[in-house]
Amino acid sequence: MDSTGTTRAASAAGTTPMVGTTGGQVSGYTTGRVNVFKGVPYGRDTAASRFEGAVPAAAWDAPLVAQAVGDPCYQKNRDWKGWTDNRDGSENCLFLNVWSPNDAKGKPVMVFFHGGGYRYGTGGAPLYDGERLAVRGDVVVVTVNHRLHVLGFTFLGDLLPDSDYAPNPGLLDLVAALHWVRLNISAFGGDPQNVTIFGESGGGGKVSCLMAMPSAKGLFHRAIVQSGAQRKLRSREQATKDTVALLEALDLGHKDAGKLADIPVDMLYTAYRKVVGNLSVRGALSGPFSPVLDGEVLPWHPSDPQAFDNCSVVTKMYGANAHESAYYLDFAGLLSHPVTDEDMLRDAVSYLNLDPSELADFSLLISDYKTRLPDIGLDRLKVGLLSDLWMASDTLKQSLAAASQASSAPVYHYVFAWEEPYQGDFWSLHGAELLFTFDNVDADEMWGESGAPAARANRDPSGYRYLLRDNVVSAWASFAKTGQPSLKDGTAWPAFDPKTLNTMVLGEGCEVQQDYFGNATRRIFDRIEAGVGS
């Protein structure tokens, strides 16, 4: 009996599901609806090979118990409840998790990359539990841990050019995970020739980078970038300066770069935090210790024509949320600030680090948004405008660039507009679509406060959010199956192209709008590079 058959028999009997992989057998558990395998190693402990490329996990003899998530990359992060498991993690972090519907065989595979920029996060976070998506979408779901921050993106190519250290090892981890999927996922009931990668925020940046990596070509067939379209990468010169600053924070000189491989991880991480400080939201995905345009692993910016040529056969979906900046503005004390046009200018300078040459264009944006959205107050207009300039502008630019390639596979574009409770109001927050993607719409404390289920029910007594959940899961899963997103309610979702600019608005009702942002706004977006991935 093959390993897929073994899994089916075990589930039917209510015993432990067992699957054979290239490393050996793994035993998971069954929920009655899915077989779950957590903490499956796809690579070896990186502590002894810090900054080097991932090496496949060593084979094991006895069945490996895969019933608990593996360590995330070493980090001292205490995120909101839904996004973290509150462990410091370790350098032994190359693990993945698999959720497979009972009796699965040849199902589409959806591989998710977590958010947190390139600084923190875990594929084992409660929000990313794949059971409901696997069942409702009839797909195999995979989530991945990999190296982050200083461990995943220290660039040594110009300080130690003859070493074995790899550029962008954190992204090479993801390539290794996709190779593991190619070799093993059929044993879990998945189709290795139908793999969709998707990610939100920093995870969207990772998807963007993978599309620009020759080593990842052919390992996936569709891609979804959720609120994290990365367009630019750090230069070798910038990345080398980051490494020099790290050395100086450790009281080391340029010639001591080789010692970074042996520094205790807690000391290395402390020095990293000292160097990075508080990152600006502008260009957050291309700040210190993020992916580097090294010329080998990443030879192109994700916005370069060559990058789109590299992934021309990949069907793509890009999207952003209507109020991405809401809780970031709250952190900065700007969410409920009294608003005049002058206040908006001041807040934009503070939030997006706009320089004087960009203020005239920002003033034009204010006027354009007032014309397009005459019925909302300036406080909400400010959040929407800053959100669009910060996140949606890069998403739109990448969608246009991809769709403009003569040989491009279809491109789809969305704006997620459903509003979630936060700080006594309702916003389409950064990450809000994840509650719907993973069928977790009743989750509480997702943004640090309790009472969300009651607030949702009071605002949505008819339960439309569940229909939207069905539409989102259907769209993501059908995109993974066929390359064409289809909503459960039958609403057609046409492809995005430079003429129609078709955009699916997912909110209180789902509808397609052409040229959602309008020509005037798009032209100003082209003149201001203030995005998260710019």
Q: Which residues are catalytic?
A: 201, 324, 430
The Cα–Cα gap between 70 and 234 comes to: 30
Beginning with the edge strand found earlier in the chain, give each strand of the sheet holding 509-514 in spatial order. Answer: 29-30, 34-41, 95-101, 140-144, 107-113, 190-200, 222-226, 315-321, 411-416, 502-507, 509-514
Q: Positive or negative CA dihedral for 378, 379, 385, 388?
A: negative
| CB within 8 Å of 332: residues ≥ 6 apart | 350, 351
| CB within 8 Å of 454: residues ≥ 6 apart | none
Following CA atoms 484, 488, 489, 490 in sequence, which dihedral angle do they give, to the nearest 10 degrees?
30
Residue pair 169/53 in contact by the 8 Å Cβ criterion: yes
Two structure tokens written together for 353: 């680090």
DSSP secondary structure, 179-247, as one string? HHHHHHGGGGTEEEEEEEEEEETHHHHHHHHHHT-GGGTTS-SEEEEES------B-HHHHHHHHHHHH
| CB within 8 Å of 50: residues ≥ 6 apart | 91, 151, 260, 261
Q: Is 110 left (phi over 0), alpha (psi -120 to 50) or beta?
A: beta
| DSSP reduced 3-state for 269 | helix
DSSP secondary structure, 114-177, as one string? --STTT---TT-GGG--HHHHHHHTSEEEEE----HHHHH---TTTSTTSSPPSSHHHHHHHHH
Question: How many other CB atoms sit within 10 Å of the CB of residue 494?
Answer: 15
Residue pair 212/297 in contact by the 8 Å Cβ criterion: no
Nearest to 147 by CA among 125, 167, 172: 172
The Cα–Cα gap between 102 and 29 comes to: 11
Q: What is the DSSP-derived secondary structure letter of residue 388?
A: I
Residue with tokens 């090496």: 55
